[in-house]
Amino acid sequence: MSTSLEGRTVVVTGGGQGLGRAYAQRVAADGGTAVIADINTESGEKVAAEITEAGGNARFHYLDVGDQASCRAFAEFVDREFGSLHGLVNNAAIFSTIVMRPFWEIPVEEWDRLMAVNLRGPFLLTTALLPALRLGGDSSIVNVSSDAVWLGRAGYLHYTASKGGVTGMTYSMARELGGDGIRVNAISPGPTYTEVPRGTVSAAQKEAMHAAQALHRDAGPEDMVGVVAFLLSDDSRFITGQVLSVSGGLLHR
Ligand X SMILES: NC(=O)c1ccc[n+]([C@@H]2O[C@H](COP(=O)([O-])OP(=O)(O)OC[C@H]3O[C@@H](n4cnc5c(N)ncnc54)[C@H](O)[C@@H]3O)[C@@H](O)[C@H]2O)c1
Catalytic residues: 159
By Cβ distance, which residue is nearest to ligand X?
A: 18
Contact pick of 11, 12, 14, 51 for ligand X (by CB under 6 A): 14
Determine the interface stretch with ligand X among 33-41, 178-186, 203-211, 235-243 (rule: CB under 6 A). 33-41
**Residue with smaller CB distance to ligand X, 18 or 165:** 18
Q: Do β-strands 140-144 and 87-90 pair in parallel, antiparallel, or remain unpaired?
A: parallel
**Residue with smaller CB distance to ligand X, 30 or 45:** 45
Asked if 144 touches ligand X (CB under 6 A), the answer is yes
Asked if 91 touches ligand X (CB under 6 A), the answer is yes
Quote the least distance from Cβ 189 to ligand X, whole Å: 4
**Residue with smaller CB distance to ligand X, 19 or 232:** 19
Q: What angle do CA 232, 233, 234 make, to 5 degrees?
A: 135
Ranges within 55-84 binding ligand X (CB under 6 A): 63-66
Nearest to 37 by CA among 18, 17, 13: 13
165-193 in b/e form (b: 16+ CB < 10 A) is bbbebbeebbeebeeeebbbbbbbbbbbe
Residues 117, 93: contact at Cβ < 8 Å? yes
Asked if 18 touches ligand X (CB under 6 A), the answer is yes
Residues 219, 189: contact at Cβ < 8 Å? yes
Q: Where do the H-state alpha helices sit in 1-54?
A: 18-29, 41-53
Asked if 189 touches ligand X (CB under 6 A), the answer is yes
Residues 98, 200: contact at Cβ < 8 Å? yes
Binding mask 120-139 for ligand X (x = CB under 6 A): --------------------
Q: How far apart, in Å, do the first and last CA atoms of the chain sit?
A: 25
Binding mask 190-229 for ligand X (x = CB under 6 A): -xx-x-x---------------------------------
Residues 32, 87: contact at Cβ < 8 Å? yes
Q: Is 57 helix (H, G, I), strand (E, B) or coil?
A: strand
Residues that bind ligand X (CB under 6 A): 13-14, 16-20, 38-40, 43, 63-66, 91-96, 117, 144, 146, 189, 191-192, 194, 196
